Amino acid sequence: MTKKSKSNILKASLFATGVSGIVAEYNLSTLASYFIGDSIIQWTLIVSTMLFSMGLGSRVSKIFQNNLLQKFIYIEFTLSVIVAFSSLIIFVLYSRSIHTSILIYVLSIIIGMLIGMEIPLAIRINDQFESLKVNVASIIEKDYYGSLVGGVFFAFVGLPFLGITYTPFILGIINFSVALLVFIILWKEIKNSLKKYWILGAISIFFVLIIGIFITKPIILHSEQKRYKDKIILSEQSKYQKIIITEWKNEHWLYLNNNLQLSSIDEVLYHEPLVHPAAKLCSNLKNVLVLGGGDGCAVRELLKYKTIENITVVDLDPLMTELGKTNNILVELNNNSLNNSKVKIVNQDAFKFIENTKQFYDLIIIDLPDPRNIELNKLYTQEFYSLCKRAMTADATIVTQAGSPYYATSAFECINLSIQSAGFETLKIHNQILTMGEWGWIIGKRKRAHLSLKETLLNSDFSDIETKWLNNEAIHQITSFGKNFFLKDSIEVNKIHNPTLYRYYLKGNWSIY
């Protein structure tokens, strides 16, 4: 084989390393976001840690003096196994309450160091095939090109279709295939006395990877099950989140990224206060916008109003709304609401939708996850509420879930203040939800000179709406608060350029939840 052919083999291996390296970073970042939380911080730290570790790996590679090709293949084989089983290891240890955050960062350091060793070794091996300036440029070039391909693969194929369960095995197989190809093509460069051990090792790793593909899903399901007290009957990974439904007797729980969203036992204690008080404050209820609410339960409550003509549901995750339309458990829970002819589903970021919509709505219901990170924080900002106000008719009402007024009092008050700063008169309401504790919502309308929102609501009649819990008496209960015993500090308005809310949320007293 010519020198050029041998050089091309090494360059191809670096291209593949670039693909698998960047995807390994993204996969670990996703796992860190899932298990630790605060995705912006986790992605930043994981990527930075891996890049730093690549630098360490490059430095360590200086100690290798002889048999560079064998060491390169050895690193590729090692990397293929560690990367392939990374998700499986993390899930298994997480289920046993072992410090998952430490493990994720340890893995990122190990993988980063191994990747960092490969590039200088490849350059040194390729030194015999090309001149220095061509060698360095072409080797690093291929690695960078592979990074772009890897990023595209992870965003559009790996995460949405393979998920964090099988994507690592694709990476492992890529690394193994590259090592095997280099091993076969450059067979003569390897010592004869070691060839039989390399063959045995390659065969062993091949079978380990194949076996891993088949055992990973049941092991991960078993590991996930240990984290939930009830039986998991659905576990799906979308591009945006992990969706799990558990079952106990005839009751069900929905979890998104390990956070409880609803329980069939008491979800009416959440969805009836979310929808009906705000709806009753609308004098002309025809067009409704629901931001979030992909489970369909809020829409179920809205369909009780005969005057409503159109309901637009904007939920980022197509898988969530598809489950809301087709999953037997959710369909029964939401009375098949998402398949109603009045309902239109849009799978889009809520901020982008409200920024670009030209429609006007009589009621906007914001049923989004808690603002536990920067991404969600923007959906609770003064700017976001101002955009909502622009899309509302003159007498329209807005309502948002606002977390707990007691577990995270500062966050709750921050949401209230941020809505007020957008030009709304607000009304705080709350309710005790058996599976979630004390929860709260904020209702807003344009500032008015006549009766307050609370007085208007207390004078409303809820007897004409078919509810399981909410009635006229309950309205007195959910609009009543005691003294603000838990609020200790002054609160700032939440803005895009000054994201205070998610910090308030993370500092909440969730330990008593």
Phi/psi of residue 231, nearest 5 degrees: -70, 130
- Tell me, yes or no, whether 277 and 202 share the same domain: no
- Tell me, yes or no, whether 406 and 462 share the same domain: yes
Q: Give residue 390's pLDDT.
A: 96
Q: Give residue 374's pLDDT.
A: 82
Taking the C-alpha atoms of residue 437 and residue 480, their distance in angstroms, rounded to an integer, is 16
Phi/psi of residue 233, nearest 5 degrees: -115, -10
- Nearest CA-CA partner of 19 in 119, 125, 146, 121: 146
- Tell me, yes or no, whether 36 and 157 share the same domain: yes
Q: Give residue 181's pLDDT.
A: 80
Structural domain harbouring 189: 3-227
Q: Give residue 193's pLDDT.
A: 64
Looking at the structure of the chain, the number of domains it has is: 3
- Tell me, yes or no, whether 155 and 241 share the same domain: no
Decide which of 504 and 164 is more confident.
504
Strand partners, 287: 310
Q: Give residue 274's pLDDT.
A: 97
- Tell me, yes or no, whether 133 and 86 share the same domain: yes
- Tell me, yes or no, whether 191 and 273 share the same domain: no
For range 327-355, the mean pLDDT: 97
- Tell me, yes or no, whether 220 and 102 share the same domain: yes
- Other CB atoms closer than 10 Å to residue 347's CB: what's the count? 17
- Tell me, yes or no, whether 360 and 407 share the same domain: yes
Taking the C-alpha atoms of residue 283 and residue 232, their distance in angstroms, rounded to an integer, is 43
Residue 512 has pLDDT above 70, yes or no: no
Residue 513 has pLDDT above 70, yes or no: no
Q: Please, what's the b/e burial string for 430-443 (b: 16 or more CB within 10 A of its CB; e: otherwise)?
A: bbebeebeebbbbb
- What CA–CA distances, in Å, run from 254 to 115, 133, 246, 317, 334? 39, 57, 7, 15, 13
- Nearest CA-CA partner of 365 in 381, 383, 350, 382: 350
- Catalytic center residues: 367
Residue 425 has pLDDT above 60, yes or no: yes
| Tally of CA atoms within 13 A in the half-sphere of 365 that contains its CB | 33
- Tell me, yes or no, whether 116 and 37 share the same domain: yes
- Tell me, yes or no, whether 421 and 394 share the same domain: yes
Q: Which of 245, 260, 275 is the last residue of a domain?
A: 260
Q: Which range is least confidently modeled, 142-151, 255-264, 304-313, 482-491?
A: 482-491
Q: What angle in degrees, to the nearest 10, is found between the helix axes of 68-84 and 163-185?
A: 160
| Percent of the chain predicted with pLDDT > 70 | 95
Q: Give residue 442's pLDDT.
A: 97
The CATH number of whichever domain residue 419 belongs to comes to: 3.40.50.150
Tokens of 117: 């060793």
| Percent of the chain predicted with pLDDT > 90 | 46
Residue 177 has pLDDT above 80, yes or no: yes
